[in-house]
Amino acid sequence: MINRDFPLRKDQYGYRYVFFLGNEGGNCKYQCRFCEIGKSNAVDSAYNMMLFDYLYNDYKLKLHNDTAHPLLYNRGNITDEKAFSRKTLTYILNKFKSDSNICHLSINSREKEVDTNFMDYILDINLSFPVHFILGQESFSSKTEEIIGKRTIKEFENLVKKISIYNNEICMSNSKIYNFGIDVHLLFLPELYIGNTNRKGYGGDIFIGLLKDIDDAINSSTDTFPLTININPYYKVSALPYENADMEQFLSFLPSISEHIHQINKNRRFKVSVFVGYRPMKTHDNLYNQRITEFECVIDGFNQKNKIERTIQQNLTIFASS
């Protein structure tokens, strides 16, 4: 199994280094229809630890003493013991434990497996930094199961309740101000908001749908932890009939999203941040590749500050009303 190449990105917390490991149970048991990375051969714990060591050395070489928050994936979810053994996870956590440059660690999860046993296990290791659970909510739209074949009803809300209890009632060490946070994934796919209608002419409805997803995440969380909202533009997959999301349209939404988040954070102790997971594949088309570079420049700036610089904002093509 070859580790996927995830570009090193930066957000408001520092560098995001992705550790993409194997699933020790084989295919992910959830088998979400649109997911193309949850199908794999099983690997053993020794393989995962070996691959982790290789990536960890690369991580230390690239980041030196820079602030970072590693992200841990495994073609399934890390919190499922059959998919990722406690032996493997303990090895990794103990390796990270001595790294003073980590502000928090994010691990891929599903709400069902994030129970009191798992959270107690994490706390018993006595990490000096919080752990965030990555949750693939994708959307709060009532159309989610119909459109992409993933059922996530109440997962986010239930996870918020669980970790809020631990952040409020469980004694925390002096080095941490919270124990657990959430990185929630949202999928920018227009059909989630407008159904199977032709996208043309529905820019306003698409923007309203995306903003509602963002607000649903914020309003369903509590101010006991920082919330990161990862927005992933949709790229065509064989299992679904939809075309790639329109990136120019999406970029036109960012100034309004930026201002919205800024207003929300005025009243929060723990802040909300938005990260755009833009990972296009470059081709032999130089004009297309140049456009990708332009998009990446805008998105990288937004990810680091959740702000669109005025000079860039003036140059964005506005498609939201088209």
pLDDT tens sequence across 58-72: 999 999 889 999 999
pTM score of the predicted model: 0.91
Helices (H) and strands (E) in the chain, counts: 10, 9
pLDDT of residue 139: 97
Whether 1 shows a pLDDT value over 50: the answer reads no
The per-residue pLDDT for 285 is 84
Q: Specify the higher pLDDT residue, 322 or 228.
A: 228
Note the maximum CA span of the chain. Answer: 56
From CA 184, how far away is CA 105, in angstroms rounded? Answer: 14
Question: Is residue 271 over pLDDT 50?
Answer: yes
Q: What is the rounded CA–CA span in Å between residue 143 and residue 238?
A: 19
Give 133-184 pLDDT, tens digit per residue: 999 999 999 999 999 988 888 999 999 999 999 998 765 554 578 999 999 9
Partnered with residue 275 across adjacent β-strands are 230
Cβ proximity of 125 and 90 under 8 Å: yes
Long-range contact set of residues 3-7: C-beta below 8 Å, sequence gap at least 24: 3/51, 3/55, 4/37, 6/279, 7/279
Distance of CA 266 to the CA centre of its chain: 23
Range of weakest confidence among 105-119, 175-189, 218-232:
175-189
Mean pLDDT, rounded, for 1-16: 80
Name residue, tokens 């297309």. Answer: 288
| pLDDT the model gives residue 36 | 59
d(CA 224, CA 165): 9
Q: What is the pLDDT of residue 293?
A: 92
With 80 as the cut, is the pLDDT of residue 187 above it?
yes
Residues in the chain: 322
At residue 125 the predicted structure's pLDDT band, cuts being 50, 70 and 90, is very high
Among 130, 139, 121, CA closest to 103:
130
pLDDT at residue number 3: 47
> How far apart are the C-alpha atoms of 317 and 254, rounded to whole Å?
12
Phi, psi of 201 (to 5 degrees): 90, 0
Instruction: Please give the C-alpha separations between residue 149 and each of 13, 113, 135, 144, in angstroms, as whole numbers.
Output: 33, 21, 16, 7
Bridge partners, residue 107, by sequence: 72, 133
Q: What is the pLDDT of residue 37?
A: 64
Q: Is the pLDDT of residue 254 over 90?
A: yes
Q: Please answer whether residues 28 and 76 qualify as being in contact, where contact means their C-beta atoms are separated by less than 8 angstroms.
A: yes
Per-residue pLDDT, 318: 40
Q: How far apart are CA 149 and CA 214, in angstroms?
A: 20
Structure token pair of residue 311: 């000079």
Q: Average pLDDT in the 47-58 region?
A: 96
Amino acid at 314: Q
Asked if residue 282 has pLDDT above 80, the reply is no
The predicted-structure confidence for 18-28, as pLDDT tens digits, reads as follows: 999 999 887 76
